[in-house]
Amino acid sequence: MNEIDTAIAHVQNGDYEKGMAILKQVAQTADDDTLFNIAQLYFEWGRIPEAKDILERLLVKHPYDSNLVLFKAEIEIDDDKEEEAIDLLTKIHELDENYLSAQLLLADLYQLQGLEEAAESRLKKAYKMAPNNPVLSYALGEFYRTSGQANHAINYYKDAMHAEELEHEDVMLKLGEVLSLNGQFEEALIYYKKGIEQHQTLDGLFGYGVTAYQAQKYQTAISVLEDLKTMDPQYSTLYPVLAGAYKEEGAVEEALQTLESGIQLDEHNERLYEEAAQLAKNASKYDEAVNYYQELLRISPDNEDALKSFALLRLELEDYEGIIDLLGSRNDDDPELNWFLGKAYFEEDDMEQALKVYENANANFAEDPGFQKEYGEILWQLGKRDKALSHLKQSLALDPDNNELALFVERIEQDF
């Protein structure tokens, strides 16, 4: 066993300092090839300064060795010195054997800096030089996928999906993802299925399940997402999709149980509460729906959509006191919420409070016949007959087919 192998053995056996000491001693008299190997070990073990020091010594002797330049650039990237890495990589000539590798690294760096056009330019230039290189095809697929251009990524992934050197990259799953993002759900399912057979990843299963749901293959979605839940029950984004698939299959109890399981794991996930409340409401499980809305508003009191949905549920249940408790203490500028509150006061015969709310909200509902009718009825009961008739007639003008209101207005006018 040579000295480098001995150093590696010490590190692998937990005697890190001993291994480092041996490498340091060897590096003092080593030839260039050995120094390069030592630098690689330093880099692998996270000893960036030592690796960089050796590379700089080697580059003084071999300034045009692109293997050294490429390795030094990788070290600079790992050391968060992107500009230094770019400076090194741009010096590699296009006739050099490492030119394509340099372009791949440059593209990654430019994309990290938000320079999308520069990154794309580097990749496409390299691709033109080697159009049959699957690594470049894959790199272009990755670029377009991560930059939100799924439609451009599809063919590049297809060119790369059978390359042996890319087997570890889950190309099939990524192809399924971009096809799904592009709305090609049926074709996406084919590649997701193949990809999952090769490598069952959590994100792959989730993408497969979501795509099956979008393709209305609800049984497939349920099967796949249940597998994902078994593998990692903490994968909280699966629960609303799985519940949705159960709901579409008419399995309301399973859907509610799924959402409840998700809530138990992620008690601050607003979407789970919203889905559970709506599902419970649709299933006429009103007490459960109320509880879900109350919990949602407890963790997110400023959720206006949830507040409106809860107030509407209270209104449908004719729980007018509940609406007043929910909205009465709020200083809310939302016209719809104010109307709900006004309705509640009206139904509870608190006409003075109802009038205040309707007066404030009137400008927002000048073209709503229902609001104008209710406003007129409040005014009528408070003895404000002229103003009441004005709003009732305005409601009738907006809804001339309301025969009952038309007869009422006619009687009022005759009394006058």
The first and second tokens of residue 18, run together, are 């001993």
Cα 348 from Cα 368, distance rounded (Å): 22
| Residue 310, amino acid | F
User: What average pLDDT does range 54-76 have in this prediction?
Assistant: 83
Output the pLDDT for position 53: 86
Kindly report, residue by residue over 17-41, the tens digit of the pLDDT: 887 888 788 777 778 888 888 888 8
Helices 202-214 & 171-181 angle (0-180, nearest 10): 30
Q: How far apart are CA 288 and CA 277, in angstroms?
A: 7
**Interval 4-22: pLDDT, tens:** 877 788 778 887 788 788 8
Q: Tens of pLDDT along 249-301?
A: 999 999 999 999 999 998 899 999 999 999 999 999 999 999 999 999 999 99
Q: At 223, is the pLDDT very low, low, confident or very high (cuts 50, 70, 90)?
A: very high
Number of H helices, E strands in the chain: 25, 0
- For residue 378, the one-letter residue type is I
Contact 378, 346 (CB under 8 A): yes
b/e 57-89 (16+ beta carbons within 10 angstroms → b): ebbeeeeebbebbbbbbbbbbeeebbeebbebb
pLDDT of residue 181 exceeding 90:
yes
Count the neighbouring beta carbons within 10 Å of the beta carbon of residue 241: 22
Each residue's pLDDT tens digit, 345-386: 999 999 999 999 999 999 999 999 999 999 999 999 999 988
Distance CA 128, CA 308 (A): 56
Q: Are 144 and 152 in contact (CB under 8 A)?
A: yes
Q: Output 99 or 344, whichever has higher pLDDT.
A: 344
C-alpha–C-alpha distance, residues 308 and 340, integer Å: 9
> Which residues have a Cβ under 8 Å from the Cβ of 250 and sit 6 or more positions away?
none
pLDDT of residue 249: 95
The set of long-range contacts for 253-262, using a CB threshold of 8 Å and a minimum separation of 24, is 255/279, 256/280, 256/283, 256/285, 256/288, 261/233, 262/236, 262/238
**pLDDT, the chain, mean:** 89
Poorest-confidence range of 242-256, 313-327, 399-413? 399-413
pLDDT attached to residue 416:
65
Residues 6+ apart with CB under 8 A from 240: 259, 262, 271, 272, 275
CA separation for the pair 375, 23 (Å, rounded): 88
Task: Report the distance separating Cα 51 and Cα 75, nearest Å.
Answer: 8
What is the DSSP annotation of 332-354?
A: ---HHHHHHHHHHHHHTT-HHHH
User: 84-88 contacts: CB < 8 A, separation 24 or more?
Assistant: 85/109, 86/110
Residue with the larger pLDDT of the pair 125 and 415: 125
What tokens appear for 53 in the block?
């020091």
Query: Measured in Å, how far apart are the chain's first and last C-alpha atoms?
Result: 114
- Whole-structure pTM value: 0.72
* Residue closest to 369 by CA, chosen among 338, 337, 404: 404
Gap between the Cα atoms of 247 and 259, Å rounded: 11
- Percent of the residues in the chain that have a pLDDT greater than 90, as a whole number: 53
Write the CB contacts of 383 (distance below 8 Å, at least 6 apart in sequence).
none
C-alpha angle 148-89-69 in degrees, rounded to nearest 5: 135
Which pLDDT score, from 0 to 100, does residue 73 have?
83
